[in-house]
Structure 1
Amino acid sequence: MRLILAEKPSVAKNIADALQIKTKQDGYFEGNDYVITWAFGHLVQLYDAKDYESKMARWKIDNFPFIPADFKYKVKSDPRNRQRSDRGAEKQLRIIHNLMKRNDVDMIISACDYDREGQLIGDSIIYRGTKPNKKVYRLLLNEWTQTEVLKGLESIKPNDTMKPLRDAGISRQWADWVIGINLTSVATLKYQKGKGKALNIGRVLLPTLKIIYDRDMEIETFVPEDYFKLTATFQTKDKHKYEGTYVEGNKEKFKSKEMLDKVNQTIQAKQAVVIDKQVEKKKEFAPLLFNLSNLQGYITNKYKGWTSDKVLKVAQSLYEKKFITYPRTSSMALEESLVGKTAKVLETHSSDLPYKDEVKFQKTKRVFNNAKVESHSAIIPTYVKPKRLSSDDQLVYTAIKNRFIMQFMPLAEYEETKLTTKVDVAEGVFASKGKVQLVEGWKKVENIQSKDTILPLVHVQEEVDLLDSKVSSHVTKPPKSHTERTLLRVMETCGKGYKEDESEEMAGTILSGFSIGTPATRAETMKKLKDIGYITARGKNLVCTELGKKLVETFPVQDLFDLEFTGRLEKSLSDIQKGKSSKNEFLSMIFSFTNESVETIKGGKDIIINELVSTSSTKEVLGKCPICRSGVIEGQKGFGCSNWKSGCKFVIWKNDKFLATMKKKPSKTMVKSLLKNGVVTVKGLTSKKGNKFNANMRYEKNQDNNFFSWKMEFTK
C-alpha cells in the first residue's frame, strides 16, 4: 500500500479521481493500492520567540537580537486565537501520522506543489517527530489531469534528491523569521509611539516600498519644461492630404518658439517636394506565453478592481480544478519534452474556433526552449475543457487560453511608409509616417484592432502644396506612478535593464533568480504593503503614504531598501535550490546581518516614525454634516459623517482624486473651515505646468445624485 500526501483536499480529490478511488474516510481516501491524505497548506509553523524563552513574551529592546540556537516547529496557531493550536491542523496531523505508521503502508509519496514552499510543507509534516521507517518519494507534476497523475506515479523520485529544494525552503523561512522578528520588534520599540500594530520590517517588503517611493519622488521633484513642434498639412495633385512634423538634425521637439515661428513664416506660400519615400513590410510576433507576473500585470492593467493577489488566487483555483498548468512560474516558454502533449492540447482548444484553419502547430524556439525554463514551464491550458466557470475564473482562463492559441497563429504583418517632404527655404524637412495592417494573424484571437494611418500615394520628386502649418506648444510630462503591472516588472528583474516600454522578451532574458521575491510571493507583498499602511492605491496607481515615506527616509538599515542587496539574497536562495550554494553559509550571513542591523537601530537617532493615536478616545467633531447636521469626524481614509451607520454618505476622501491632480490632500484644518464657512482658501495648489497658485474651494452636492464635487474660485 502506498500513502500519498497532497498539499490540499482538492488536490487529493484529483489524485483519487485519477486512480478511480471513491471510498472516503475521515481525513483520507482509500483504495486497493493507495491511501491518499492531505494537508491544508502549512500544518506546522516555526516557534514564536516566546516559545523559546519566557522573557521574550515582553518586548524589551535589551532582549534583541534574538536568534535561536536550534529552530523548532509547532502545530500552526488558530487564526482566531493565536495563543492556542489550530484544532483542525492538530487532528489532520494525527490522521497523517497514524496512516504513516500503518503496517500495510510500505511507501510514502509527497505530492505537494513542486516548488520550495511545497517541499517544505510536505517534509515538515512527514519528518515531524521521528523519521519515518519507510521510503519517502516525491511526485513532481505540473498539472493535475488524470493522464499526468498516472504518468507521474510511474516516475516518482526518492525524496532525498529534493534536499536542495528543501534547503532553499528552510533558508527562506528561517531568514524571514530572523529578520522579521528582530527588526520589526526593535524598530517598533525605537520608532513608534503608542500601542497597536507593529512597525513592519521585512526582507521583501522594504525594497518594494522603496521602488514606489523612488517613483513618487521622481514625480514630486519633476520640473515641467515647455517645448514646441511645427506641423504642416500637405496636399497632393489628387487633392489627398497628409501631415508632416518638422525635423531638423533628428530633432522634432524644440525649446525655442521664436526659431520655429521664423521657419513657419519662411515656408508660407512656398512649394514642397517629396524627397524620400521608404516602404517596409514588418512582422509582429504574438506576445510570449504567460508566466505569473505577466499574467498578473496583464489582468490588473486591463480590468478594473483586479489586484495581483486576486489573479493568483483565481489562477491557483483553476490549477487545482485541472484546467491550467502550475501558475507560480517565472518561465515564458515550455520544456521541449512537452511538444507532443502541447499539440494535443492545441487541437482540443482550436477545433471549434471560427479561424481554426489558420491555427497550425509548429515547434519553434520561441515556444519550446529548455534554456528559458526555470523549474516550471509557462502557464497554458490543459486538455480538460471547463463546462462552467464563474466570471472571475472565465476571465483569467480565457486570457491564458488565448495567449496559448496566439503562439500557433500566423504572424501579424503591416506595411510602414515613411515620407520626407522638403520646403526649399527651410533647413529641416517634414517627416510623415503611415501604417497599414496587411495580415491580422494572431490579433484575430482577441480581436485586437490595429490603428491604421493611411498616407496618400505619392512618388519621390512629386510636388505637393503646403495647405497649412502651425507651431504648437507642449509640456514635458512627469513619469507615471507605478501600477501593479510596472511594479511586478521591476520586482521580477530587480530593476536591471528595465524600461517601461521594454518588450517581455527582454525581461525574460534577465539572469534567472536575481529578483525581489518570487512569482508566488510578489502579490502577497503588495497586499501586505497596503494592509499595513505603507502604500495606498489611487485607481490603478500605487503611491506611498506619509508613514511609508517617513520609514524610507528615516530607517537606518539602508541595505534593506537596496534592490541589489535583496536581489543577491534571492539569487542565493535560487543557487541553494540548484545545489550550487550552501544553506549554512546563507543563514550565517543572514544572522550576522541581523545582529549588525539591530545594533545600528539601537545606536541610531531617537525619532518617531509612527505615532498611534488611541482609538478609545472620543473623536473630535470637525463641524456639522451639510446633509444631516450630525458631526463630521476624521476616519482612516477620510473625513465623514458620524451618522454613516444610518446611511448618511457625506465624506471628503483623504486621497481625493481632484485635489491630487493639484498635489494637495485635504487637512483637518481645511475641513473645519469648509464646514464652518462653506468655502475654504487653499494655498499652494500646483498647476499642470508645475506653477503654484491659491484658490477658494467649495464642496457642493451634485444636482443629479447624492455625491459632492469641488468647485474652484480663483483668488487674486
Structure 2
Amino acid sequence: MKKLIIAEKPSVARNIADAINAKIRKDGFIEGNDYVITWAFGHLLQLYDVKDYDPSLKGWRLENFPYIPQEFKYKVKTSGMNKQQVDSGAQKQIDIINSLIARSDIEGIIAATDDDREGQVIFDEITIYLKTKKPVERLLLNEWTIDEVKRGLQNLKPNSKMQSLQDAGLGRQLADWLIGINLTSVATVKYRGDEKIKVLNIGRVLLPTLKIIYDRDKEIESFQESRYYKLIAEFNTRQKITFEGTYYEDDNEKFEQQEYLDVINGKIKGKNAVVMSKTVEKKKEYPPFLFNLSNLQGTVTSKYKDWTSDKVLKTAQSLYEKKAITYPRTASQVLDESLIEKTEKVLNAHKQGNPFASEIIFHTAKRIFDSKKVESHSAIIPTYMVPGNLTNDEKIVYDEIKNRFLAQFMPVAESEETILTIKIDDEILKGIFISKGKVQLTEGWKKIEKVTVKEVNLPRLTEKEPLVVKNGKVTEIKRKAPKAHNEKTLLRVMETCGKSYEKEDSEEMMLAILSGFSIGTPATRAETIKKLKDVGYVRAKGKSLVCTELGKMLVESFPVPDLFDLEYTGKLEKTLSDIEKKKFQKSDFINMIVEFINQSVNAIKKDPNFGAKGTVSSDVEILGQCPECNSPVVETAKSFGCSNWKNGCKFAIWKDDRYITGFGKQVSPEMVKLLLQNGRVGFRGLKSKKGTTFAAYFHYTKDENTSRYNWSMEFIDN
C-alpha cells in the first residue's frame, strides 16, 4: 500500500521525490515504492460566483445585493484568459488527483502544501471539493532540503489537528469573498462613472492600504514651508586644531528668529571659551534582527532599482523551492530554540571561504534564538545547501538573506561617542555650545552588511581646557515636507497597523507584529500593493507611491468608512489570528462579516453623495429624480429619461408608450413629474377597449426578473 502526497507546486513535488528517491515520472504525478507524489498549481479551485448559485443573478443589479450564500461551494478555477471558461490545466490536474485518491493501493493522503494559512486552504479545498473519505495527514516543513523532508515524513500529524488553521484560512477566504463580491458589485453599479472604469474594486486589505497612501499625500499637500536657524561656531585649540560646536539654549538648537542668533554671532568672534565637561561613552551596535518577509522586501526595494515587494516575494519563493532558504512568508525575526543544532550546521556550511570566517563564531543569544517570539515560522535564513545555479535576481535576494544571517554571528560593532560642552566667556550669553564626535572602534558585523561608517573626529581635549572662537555662522534650514510612501515604508505601516515605535528594529515592534494586529499578512501585502497599482488607485512615481484621482475619489466619497480604518482592519486580521490560536470561532467571525456586509451594502445604496450623477445645464427643466441612480430626469426628443444615460443608467419613459396611448392618453412632462414625486399618477376619462370610460392610477415599477420597467394599473373607486 502507498500514500498519496499532494504538494503545492510541481517544483516542490520534485524536491519531495528527490528526497524519497521516487523516480517514475508520469502525467501529473511521480511514483515511488511507498509514495505517489502529485501537485496543485497553487489554487486549483475557487469559490462559486454569484451567478453559479443562481443564473438569474448574472447581471450586477443593486436589488440582487447583499448576496449571502446558504452554503459556500467550490468549482475548478476559471481561465486567466477567459473567465467564462474553465482552466483546462486545473481541470486536468483535479481529475488526476481524484483518480489517484480513488486508486485501491492508496491507503491515505499527505498534505504537503506550505505550512501556513493559505497552504492549508489550497489543500483542504481540494479534499472538500472531491469529498475525500481516506485518512489525511499533514507534512509540516520549514524548508525542502532532503534531510527535512525525510524528518517530516517520520513526524506526520493528523490533518484534523490543523482544524484551527483551516478555520482561519477559510474564514479569511469567505470574508474576502463576501466583502469583495458584494461591495465591489454594488459600488460599481452605483458609481457608473468614467467609461474607462469597468470595475470599482473593494477589498478588506486594499482600502486601508490605499488610505495610508492617501493620508501621506494629504500631509504633503497641506505642508506649510517653514525655516529654522542654527548657530555653528568654530573653535581653535591651543594647538590650532579647529572643530565645530552648535549653540543650544534649554536643550534646543533650533531657533525661529534668525536675528536673535545674528546678535549672538556678532559677539562671539575672538572670545575665549572653556571645555566645561567631557563625556566619553562606548556603545555597542547589534546587527539588525534576522529578516522576516516585510523587512526583506523593504531592504531590497529601497536598495535596488526597479524592485517591487511582489518581485522580492516571488524571488524568495523561488529560492525556497530551490531548497536555498527557509520558508519566506514569515512575520518572525528570530529562530525557534529547537533549531539551534541545525543553525550551527548551516553557519558552518556558509562561513567556509568567507573572508571574515575567523570572526564568525556560533552562539545562542536571545537576539537570535527565542521561541516566545516565533509565530508559526521562524525568521528567514539560508539552508545548509549552498546553491550554485541562481539567477541574478535570486543572487541579490539570497545574498541579503545570507549576509544578514552571518552578521548575527560576527562581533558586535563598537563605537566611542564623545560629547563636549563648551561655555564662552561672556556673562550675557545664556546658552552653551555642544560638540559631538564618533569613532568606530570595531566594525564587526558592519563589514558583512557593508554598512558605511561615518566618523566625526574631535581633538583630544580635557575638561577646563581653554579654547578660542575662530568665527561663527548662522545657518538657515528648511523644514522638509513628509516624503511620499515607498514600498518599504508602506510595508512597515501595514505590518504594524500604523503604530509607531521609538526604534524600528526593536523587540517591542517584533512582539507587536507577532500579535496579528496588522493590515494583511506577510504573504498578502505585496499582492495588495501590486493590485492597488493594477486597479488604478495608486501609481508609482519613481520609488514613491501616490494616489490617482480615482483613488482619491474612493477615499473621499465611499460611504463605508470602516474599510479605510486601520484600527478596524487590524482587529479583523487579529481575529483571524485568534481563530488560528483557538481563541475565536470561525462561525462567529463569518456572522460578524455578514452583519457588516448588510449594513455596508445598504449604506452604499442609500448614499446620495457616492457615485456619478448625470448633470444638466441650468436652463433645462428637471422633472424629478431617477429611481435607479438619483440623477435628474429630463425631457429629450423621444422620451423622459435619466440624464445619467451616458454612464449606463437606462431609466426612461417613452413619449409614444403604447400602454398609455392605448387608453387615449399621452405621456406629458406633468404626468412624469407626478409619477416620480408620488410613485403613481392618476387619470380620469380613460377609454377601455369596449368604449367605456373609467379612472385609474398608473404605476411604473421594475420587474425584478427582467430588470425592465412595466406599467400596472389600480382602478379608482368612483
Identity %: 59
Q: Cα–Cα, structure 1 residues 609 and 346, in superposed 2: closer, same or farther, change >3 Å?
A: farther
Equivalent in 503, 508, 511 of residue 510 of structure 2: 508
Correspondence for 2:715: none
Amino acid at match of 1:460: E
Correspondence for 1:626: none
Give 1:449 deviation, angstroms.
2.5
Runs of 4+ in 1 over 6 A off after TM superposition: none
Amino acid at match of 2:377: H
Deviations 1:521-540 (A, max 9, x none): 00000000011111111111
Equivalent in 574, 578, 583 of residue 580 of structure 1: 583
Q: Cα–Cα, structure 1 residues 483 and 73, in superposed 2: closer, same or farther, change >3 Å?
A: same
Cα separation, 1, equivalents of 2:206 and 2:228: 40
Q: Cα–Cα, structure 1 residues 216 and 117, in superposed 2: closer, same or farther, change >3 Å?
A: same
Cα separation, 2, equivalents of 1:400 and 1:506: 23
Secondary structure of the 2:167 match is helix
Cα separation, 1, equivalents of 2:176 and 2:613: 23
Deviations 1:314-346 (A, max 9, x none): 000000000000000000000000000000000
Correspondence for 1:669: none
Cα separation, 2, equivalents of 1:498 and 1:72: 43
Correspondence for 2:164: 164
Secondary structure of the 1:148 match is helix
Correspondence for 2:677: none
Correspondence for 1:590: 593
Gaps of 5+ in 2: 615-718
The answer on whether the counterparts of 1:547 and 1:610 sit within 8 Å (CA) in structure 2 is: no
Give 1:269 deviation, angstroms.
2.3
Amino acid at match of 2:276: I
Amino acid at match of 2:585: S
Correspondence for 1:354: 355
Amino acid at match of 1:190: K
Give 1:607 deviation, angstroms.
4.0
Report the TM-score when normalising by structure 1.
0.84
Correspondence for 2:201: 200
Amino acid at match of 1:99: L
Correspondence for 2:154: 154
Secondary structure of the 2:284 match is strand
Amino acid at match of 2:342: K
The answer on whether the counterparts of 2:269 and 2:470 sit within 8 Å (CA) in structure 1 is: no
> 2:437 matched to 1:437?
no
Deviations 1:31-75 (A, max 9, x none): 111111111111110001111111221111111111111111001
Cα separation, 1, equivalents of 2:538 and 2:255: 38
Give 1:475 deviation, angstroms.
1.7
The answer on whether the counterparts of 2:231 and 2:474 sit within 8 Å (CA) in structure 1 is: yes
Q: Cα–Cα, structure 1 residues 59 and 10, in superposed 2: closer, same or farther, change >3 Å?
A: same
Correspondence for 1:546: 549
Secondary structure of the 2:462 match is coil
Correspondence for 1:480: 483
Correspondence for 1:312: 313
Give 1:505 deviation, angstroms.
3.7
Cα separation, 2, equivalents of 1:547 and 1:227: 37
Cα separation, 2, equivalents of 1:603 and 1:534: 24
The answer on whether the counterparts of 2:411 and 2:445 sit within 8 Å (CA) in structure 1 is: yes
Q: Cα–Cα, structure 1 residues 431 and 610, in superposed 2: closer, same or farther, change >3 Å?
A: farther
Cα separation, 2, equivalents of 1:154 and 1:4: 14
The answer on whether the counterparts of 1:288 and 1:505 sit within 8 Å (CA) in structure 2 is: no
Secondary structure of the 1:599 match is helix
Correspondence for 2:136: 136
Q: Cα–Cα, structure 1 residues 127 and 607, in superposed 2: closer, same or farther, change >3 Å?
A: closer
- RMSD between aligned residues: 1.3
Cα separation, 1, equivalents of 2:406 and 2:507: 18
The answer on whether the counterparts of 1:78 and 1:85 sit within 8 Å (CA) in structure 2 is: yes
Q: Cα–Cα, structure 1 residues 607 and 3, in superposed 2: closer, same or farther, change >3 Å?
A: closer
Amino acid at match of 2:308: T
Cα separation, 2, equivalents of 1:241 and 1:255: 28
Q: Cα–Cα, structure 1 residues 295 and 527, in superposed 2: closer, same or farther, change >3 Å?
A: same
Give 1:606 deviation, angstroms.
4.2
The answer on whether the counterparts of 1:514 and 1:567 sit within 8 Å (CA) in structure 2 is: yes
Give 1:504 deviation, angstroms.
4.6
Amino acid at match of 2:89: G
Secondary structure of the 1:445 match is helix
Cα separation, 2, equivalents of 1:366 and 1:194: 53
Give 1:265 deviation, angstroms.
1.7
The answer on whether the counterparts of 1:554 and 1:609 sit within 8 Å (CA) in structure 2 is: no
Secondary structure of the 2:164 match is helix
The answer on whether the counterparts of 2:191 and 2:611 sit within 8 Å (CA) in structure 1 is: yes
Correspondence for 1:233: 234
Correspondence for 2:708: none
Correspondence for 2:527: 524
Gaps of 5+ in 1: 612-716
Deviations 1:569-624 (A, max 9, x none): 0001001111111000000000000010000011101444699xxxxxxxxxxxxx
Give 1:503 deviation, angstroms.
2.6
Secondary structure of the 1:55 match is helix
Secondary structure of the 2:245 match is strand
Cα separation, 1, equivalents of 2:609 and 2:517: 35
Cα separation, 2, equivalents of 1:344 and 1:469: 59
Correspondence for 2:396: 395
- Choose 539-548 or 149-158, whichever is displaced more: 539-548
Cα separation, 2, equivalents of 1:197 and 1:320: 37
The answer on whether the counterparts of 2:290 and 2:333 sit within 8 Å (CA) in structure 1 is: yes
Give 1:448 deviation, angstroms.
2.1
Cα separation, 1, equivalents of 2:312 and 2:156: 31
Correspondence for 2:244: 243
Cα separation, 2, equivalents of 1:44 and 1:173: 12
Report the TM-score when normalising by structure 2.
0.84
The answer on whether the counterparts of 2:557 and 2:609 sit within 8 Å (CA) in structure 1 is: no
Cα separation, 2, equivalents of 1:344 and 1:437: 32
Amino acid at match of 1:120: V
Correspondence for 1:263: 264
Correspondence for 1:558: 561
Secondary structure of the 2:340 match is helix
The answer on whether the counterparts of 1:120 and 1:169 sit within 8 Å (CA) in structure 2 is: yes
Cα separation, 2, equivalents of 1:337 and 1:89: 38
Cα separation, 1, equivalents of 2:241 and 2:222: 46
Give 1:81 deviation, angstroms.
1.2
Deviations 1:277-310 (A, max 9, x none): 1111100000000000000000001111000000
Cα separation, 1, equivalents of 2:192 and 2:200: 7
CA radius of gyration, larger in: 2
Cα separation, 2, equivalents of 1:523 and 1:3: 33
The answer on whether the counterparts of 1:547 and 1:609 sit within 8 Å (CA) in structure 2 is: no
Secondary structure of the 2:200 match is coil
Secondary structure of the 1:162 match is helix
Correspondence for 1:210: 211
The answer on whether the counterparts of 1:27 and 1:92 sit within 8 Å (CA) in structure 2 is: yes
Cα separation, 1, equivalents of 2:477 and 2:80: 56
> 2:191 matched to 1:188?
no
Amino acid at match of 1:564: E
Secondary structure of the 2:43 match is coil
Correspondence for 2:329: 328
The answer on whether the counterparts of 2:559 and 2:610 sit within 8 Å (CA) in structure 1 is: no
Cα separation, 2, equivalents of 1:606 and 1:276: 65
Cα separation, 2, equivalents of 1:509 and 1:222: 33
Secondary structure of the 1:106 match is strand
Aligned residue pairs total 609
Deviations 1:98-151 (A, max 9, x none): 11111111121010000111111111112323332x211000000000000000
Correspondence for 2:652: none
The answer on whether the counterparts of 1:116 and 1:165 sit within 8 Å (CA) in structure 2 is: yes
Correspondence for 2:626: none
Cα separation, 2, equivalents of 1:284 and 1:400: 20
Cα separation, 2, equivalents of 1:39 and 1:65: 33
Correspondence for 1:621: none
Correspondence for 1:629: none
Secondary structure of the 1:249 match is coil
